[in-house]
Amino acid sequence: MSKEKFDYFINGEKGKYEVVIGLEVHAQVLSNSKLFSGSSTKFGADPNKQVSLIDSAFPGMLPVINEECVKQAVRTGLGLNAKINNYSVFDRKNYFYADLPQGYQISQYKNPIVGEGKVLLDMPYGSKEIGIERLHLEQDAGKSIHDMDPSSTYVDLNRSGIALMEIVSKPHLRSPDEVNAYIKKLRTIMRYLGTCDGNMQEGSLRADVNVSVRKVGDKNFGTRCEIKNVNSIKFMQMAIEYEAHRQVELLEDGKEIDQETRLFDTKKNETRSMRSKEDAHDYRYFPDPDLLPLKLEQKLIDDLKKSLPELPDNKKERFIQEYGLNSYEANVLVSEKEISDYYEEVAKLSDKKLAATWMMGDLFAMLNDKGLNISNSPISAKNFAELVQSIKSGEISGRIAKEVFEIMVESGDNPKKIIESKGMKQQSDPKELEKIINEILSKNKDKVEQYKAGKEKLFGFFVGQVMKLSGGKANPQLTNEILKKLLKG
Amino acid sequence: MSNITNQSLSEILESIKSKKISSLELTQAYIKNIENAKKLNAFVTTTFDQALENAKKFDNKPNNEQLLSGVPLAVKDLFCTENVKTMAGSNILNNFVPSYESTVTKNLWNNGAFLLGKLNCDEFAMGSSNETSFFGNVINPIGDHLVPGGSSGGSSSALAADLTPATIGTDTGGSIRQPASFTGTVGLKPTYGLCSRWGIVAFASSLDQAGPMTKTVNDCSIMLEAMSGFDEKDSTSINKKKETYSKNLKDNIKGLKIGIPKEYRVDNMPKEIDELWEKGKKILKDLGAQLIDISLPHTKYALPTYYIVAPAEASSNLARYDGVRYGYRSQKGKDLIEMYENTRSEGFGDEVKRRILIGTYVLSSGYYDAYYLKAQKVRQLIKKDFDDSFTKVDAILTPSTPSSAFKIGEKTNDPVSMYLNDIFTVPVNLAGLPALSLPAGLDKQGYPLGLQLIGKALDEQKILNIGYAFEKNCGYKNEIKKWWS
């Protein structure tokens, strides 16, 4: 497909504008305890029930790095084909807020744990590489709750100190669709790695979105605005659409764009200014003297690399090679690890290509209808494979298979059992079929004459009659062959 | 038994062990002293009931196998003590009661000691005279008009006045050694990382280090042994085998090489400090040590470097005192920002505010490279000076302070002159090295003066040994008239 068809440009009076987007994704590290304390990270606890003296910054408390969080960051970096830095430093980012107990966030500034990497997106116009600038570890803040009391703000520190990975992309994204693909790809990679659950409803994955516009063909970037803390892909796309159009309008009116931080109002579907560049915080970053620089031994990195699971890009290649799938099928089937696992289990026991077709067709449609995931599918991979095999062997026709599938969804039964008990087996015995066909032909002698005289369209009529007489069980391929042979004679 | 409290810790431990005195009698004697010494303002909190309780418990079931069996100890109010007020000399932590015990104090209690009370100090350990404490200045038992030094001024005063058999302080730029020098007592700043910082109210994290303050070098080795040790809760704690400093204390220093840095002879240094230094050299030489002239060329940059690094870290460390979760909160203000502003304006004293301002400034964008980054580079050079010297010498001898105890109020309006008091002590903190301040003589007014022995990292045993030999041959003895009782 041509790239032009998918170009995301905004037309103004003065020209065509391109949108330039970079994302700072905040991904919560999957770990049992927080980045610098032993508190639990489990979601959904009562307010302030998962807070240690360290998380609430009592006098004399000191941070101690959680090694599992470091490993998770390294794994993620490896999954992003990125450079892992053997030496990185934790810095303090200083600012005051009620839900930031220390008065600073421990983050990584000049020396992040992960350097440049890349992510491949599969777009309808081909694959596109998005550069990763860096990934660093940092603490999450607590939560201020403003709507519980008319005059007070409440603070919940359960989230305070949880490990986040900030993944900063290069400004390589050009449309809301690419942002959608990028976030989904990141999420897929991290879920494969088990480093982030990617659950956007629970806030495990959120992003600051940097947007600027420029005339198509311009080499220089326009002034960017940063839209803070957007927590769904849909909102990111809406925010980008709104923000890009707002910026184009300003430029069309001959006005300048102020570099600023903006918020996306999900109710009004618009972005609005939060603070200008002049009001930007001076975070006074400096290396945290409570923590030594993080030195990673190459062996640790190598060991983590060796223990990495197969990642979606590799798996896709393998699916194409090993199972003869096309790129589109392979893409869909590797999009979630659980889907790929299910497919592989089915493909081991049945026809690989047919399995893919049926999974992506009837199985996904059913799951979608019922609001289910592959992991709680009512049809087990083994049963699904048997169904596919029954179709492939000619035991049942595709039409019958759909009926069997319905019954499997309802009962969870094995397809063989259903086919047996309901007598749905396809008629594939040539002698039996010949008997049926002869009966049809002798009943319709006039039509046979017409056919022989050249009215070949009547072939379909004979097939239909065979199906009718066999209760839909006649093997269509075999029926065609025998019918042709007998009509010739 | 009446004068048990003017004995050294090791003598007291001996008396307890041999049952010449019970822990209860000992504790009662200190309580009496403390009650008679309110004028010194050394204590901010006393825990007499708890101490008497612990003393009785000890007497009922004495365990003399421990380093500090049955001994009551008062500690600087910078150490968090479980269920006992810990206020760091600040209004912003007024009446703050931690639910936890600092690692260092816990180590003391695990060695058989128990808490007698909490000692006054400069607010957040920022000061050289104990005049910045919200709870009032502390008086030096040497004279009612003299400062006891700072920031561990309550500790030095209480120790010299026999209100505790030994104590602990913290030293960020000289806060143990300078007050020890001003009161004729022994003070050790250990190698950075030897004593855990966990549970100590932080001033400047890369410089803060807890250490013992005692009447003798032997006491100092006992206390260091008890309080030090690896702590996994402090990422900067050094993971090494625990040493038995007191058992290994030796007074033979024959053949040891003592470095004499020429840069420590500063302009306008009182003649008597110079004479004291000469006296020290002679003592060590007579004991068979070899004196070697060395150079620490970046010494003159140490003080400005310190006054960038320490306030920078402090400005960030003190951000947590915001009135939101604990400590003082102003009742004024219509929103969060005003609550912060009022809380911190009312909660912090002038010196703390001054350092927060300096620290915030040097970390600000546009100034970071010129100040903080440059200071960190100079810090490396200062460290390197010491590293180079220690290839040639075993220890370095310098004066502890450029003067004896000054008068209360004398320097309060001149912060720079106050900061200059730390000129001989701050390089050691910047380099993370151990240093021992020893009482060595008196000035012409009869006020104590100290000499400082600086060692290689983790070479505490060696400077303790040199100090031990020095002490035996120096002939210094604190003769303090108890004018306050």
- From the list B78, B368, B119, the residue with the least C-alpha distance to B208 is B78
| pLDDT the model gives residue A488 | 81
Percent of chain A with pLDDT over 70: 99
Q: Which of A106, A290, A291 to mutate to test the interface with B (most CBs of B within 10 A)?
A: A290
Q: Is B19 left (phi over 0), alpha (psi -120 to 50) or beta?
A: left
Task: Please indicate whether residue B76 is annotated as part of the active site.
Answer: yes
Which residue, among A106, A103, A101, has the nearest Cα to A89 in the 3D structure?
A106
Give CA–CA dist B282/B276, Å, rounded: 10
Nearest Cα residue in chain A from B361? A284
Over 50: is that where the pLDDT of A242 sits? yes
Subunit contact A104:B325, Cβ cutoff 8 A? no
Per annotation, catalytic residue among B175, B196, B246, B404: B175
Is the predicted pLDDT of residue A102 greater than 70, yes or no?
A: yes
**Is residue B201 over pLDDT 50?**
yes
Tell if the CB–CB gap between B365 and A96 is shorter than 8 Å: no
pLDDT for the residue A428: 78
Q: Is B230 on the interface with A (CB under 8 A)?
A: no
Coil, strand, or helix at residue B25? helix
Q: Are B120 and B150 in contact (CB under 8 A)?
A: no
Residue B301 is given by DSSP the state G
Cβ distance B364 to A284 less than 8 Å, yes or no, reads yes
Q: Over the Cα atoms of chain B, what is R_g?
A: 21
- For the cut 70, the answer to whether the pLDDT of residue A209 exceeds it is yes
Q: Please give the full DSSP string across B153-184, using - where no structure is assigned.
A: HHHHHHHHTTSSSSEEEE-SSSTTHHHHHHHT
* Res. A1: pLDDT tops 60: no
Whole-number Å distance between alpha carbons of A457 and A436: 20
Query: What's the alpha-carbon Rg for chain A, to the nearest Å?
Result: 30
Tokens of A46: 């009562």
- Residue from the list A94, A101, A292 with its beta carbon closest to the beta carbon of B236: A292
Distance from CA of B209 to the nearest CA of A (A): 12
Q: Which residues contact B170 (CB under 8 A, 6 or more apart)?
A: B76, B78, B79, B125, B151, B152, B176, B200, B203, B208, B209, B210, B211
Between chains, do A103 and B316 touch, taking CB under 8 Å as contact?
A: yes
Condensed to tens digits (0 to 9), the pLDDT of residues B12-27 reads 999 999 999 999 999 9
pLDDT > 70? residue A355:
yes
- Render pLDDT for B24-68 as a digit per residue (tens, 0 to 9): 999 999 999 999 999 999 999 999 999 999 999 999 999 999 999
Domain ranges in chain B are: 4-237+247-253+435-474
Average pLDDT estimate for B217-234: 98
Burial of A228 (0-12, 13-18, 19+ CB in 10 A): middle
Whether a cis peptide bond, with omega within 30° of 0, leads into B151 is: yes
A403 membership: H or E segment, kind and range: helix A398-411
What is A430-488's CATH topology? Answer: Arc Repressor Mutant, subunit A (1.10.10)
Strands A260-265 and A225-230: parallel
Q: What is the mean pLDDT of chain B?
A: 96
Q: What is the pLDDT of residue A422?
A: 78
The pLDDT score that the predictor gives to residue A473 is: 80
Percent of chain B whose predicted confidence (pLDDT) is above 70:
100
pLDDT tens-digit readout, B135-191? 999 999 999 999 999 999 999 999 999 999 999 999 999 999 999 999 999 999 999
Q: Is B348 on the interface with A (CB under 8 A)?
A: no
- For residues B211 and A281, what is the distance between their CA atoms, to the nearest angstrom? 38
CATH T-level assignment (fold) for domain B4-237+247-253+435-474: Amidase signature (AS) enzymes (3.90.1300)
Chain B contact set for A58 (CB, 8 A): 98, 100, 325-326
- Residues A100 and A55 sit within 8 Å (Cβ to Cβ): no
Query: Comparing C-alpha atoms, which of B163, B188, B77 is closest to residue B122?
Result: B77
For residues A277-287, average pLDDT = 87
ipTM: 0.96
Q: What is the pLDDT of residue A359?
A: 96
Collapse the DSSP code of B374 into the 3-class scheme (helix H, G, I; strand E, B; otherwise coil) and give the result. Answer: helix
pLDDT of residue A396: 85
Cβ pairs A/B, distance under 8 A: 97
- Asked whether residue B1 carries a pLDDT value surpassing 50, the answer given is no
Instruction: Tell me the pLDDT tens digit for each residue of B234-255.
Output: 999 999 999 999 999 999 999 9
End-to-end CA separation in angstroms for chain B:
18
Q: Which residue has the tokens 């420590």?
A: B264
Residues of A with CB under 8 A from a CB of B: 53, 56-65, 92, 94, 96-98, 101-104, 153, 155, 282, 284-286, 288-292
Least CB–CB distance from B320: residue in A101, A284, A291: A101
Which candidate from A64, A92, A292 shows the least CB-CB separation from B233? A64
Is some CB atom of chain A closer than 8 A to the CB atom of B325? yes
Mean pLDDT within B444-452: 96
State yes or no: is B151 an active-site residue. yes
The reported pLDDT for the residue numbered B436 is: 98
Residue B347 Cα, gap to closest chain A Cα (Å): 15
Question: Please, are residues A118 and A81 in contact by the beta-carbon 8 Å criterion?
Answer: yes
Q: For residue A203, is it left (φ>0), alpha (ψ between -120 and 50) or beta?
A: left
Query: For residues A263, A266, A268 and A274, what is the CA-based torsion angle, rounded to 10 degrees?
Result: -10
Of B15, B23, B90, B151, the active-site residue reads B151
pLDDT in tens, A19-37: 999 999 999 999 999 999 9
Flag whether pLDDT at B2 surpasses 60: no
pLDDT bin (cut points 50, 70, 90) of residue A434 is: confident
Q: Are A400 and A426 in contact (CB under 8 A)?
A: yes
Mean pLDDT of A378-385: 95
Q: Is the pLDDT of residue A462 over 70?
A: yes
Mean pLDDT of chain A: 93
Domain boundaries, chain A: 4-304, 310-421, 430-488
Q: Nearest CA of chain B to the CA of A22: how many Å?
A: 24
The pLDDT assigned to A288 comes to 98
d(CA B109, CA B107): 6
